[in-house]
């Protein structure tokens, strides 16, 4: 499925990039913030990659588009093909930042794209004065748990049924300073 998504969206991203006056260096990754024109893309991607694990995400997508919910959202591209996305929540009432979603399309995993998005999350969290970064990962995505543990996160809690009945979620935290 990744192949189709990425190829179809090639022309779409070309248009948006032109509109935003963004230049992309061939072969280089670039991340850009979500814009309202991304609504359809987000519904499409979430339907395939996020909803099977986390259920209906319409509210979250609308928050991303409207800029509500204290979320900073980025899409990652290379050569106008989407590679992944990142949503970071920086709640003014919390002393930590939270990765709401960090996702690399399966076709583009193992190429450093997850690390690239995580670096953005860490830098942004520091920029907003947060000394900790948290993330919640599902037992249904063991690769995500392994990835964050390998990147210096520590598991502080596990909760069953947080998002999906009978499924355990692991809450991981990384100290940034």
Which residues contact ligand COA (rule: CB under 6 A)?
A: 99, 101-104, 109-115, 135, 137, 141, 143-144, 146-147, 150
- Closest contact distance (angstroms) between CB of 104 and ligand COA is 4
Nearest to ligand COA of 16, 144 (CB atom): 144
Distance CA 67, CA 61 (A): 10
Nearest to ligand COA of 21, 28 (CB atom): 28
β-strand partners of 105: none
- Closest contact distance (angstroms) between CB of 139 and ligand COA is 11
Alpha carbon distances (Å) from 37 to 16, 33, 43, 133, 157: 8, 11, 12, 29, 37
- Closest contact distance (angstroms) between CB of 113 and ligand COA is 4
- Residue showing the smallest CB distance to ligand COA in the complex: 114
Distance CA 40, CA 110 (A): 27
Q: ∠ CA 42-44-48 to the nearest 5 degrees?
A: 110
- Closest contact distance (angstroms) between CB of 138 and ligand COA is 6
């Amino acid at each position: 499925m990744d192949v189709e998504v990425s190829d179809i969206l090639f022309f779409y991203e070309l248009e948006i990039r032109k509109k935003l006056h963004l230049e992309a260096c061939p072969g280089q990754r670039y991340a850009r913030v979500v814009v309202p024109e991304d609504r359809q893309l987000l519904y499409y991607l979430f339907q395939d990659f996020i909803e099977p694990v986390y259920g209906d995400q319409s509210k979250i997508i609308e928050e991303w588009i409207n800029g509500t919910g204290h979320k900073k959202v980025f899409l990652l591209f290379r050569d106008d093909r989407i590679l992944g996305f990142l949503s970071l929540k920086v709640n003014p009432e919390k002393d930590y930042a939270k990765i709401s979603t960090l996702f690399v399309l399966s076709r583009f995993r193992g190429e450093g794209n997850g690390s690239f998005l995580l670096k953005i999350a860490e830098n942004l969290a520091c920029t907003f004065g947060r000394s900790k970064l948290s993330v919640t990962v599902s037992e249904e995505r063991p690769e995500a748990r392994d990835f964050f543990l390998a990147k210096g996160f520590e598991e502080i809690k596990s909760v069953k049924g947080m998002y999906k009945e009978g499924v355990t979620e692991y809450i991981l935290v990384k100290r940034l300073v």
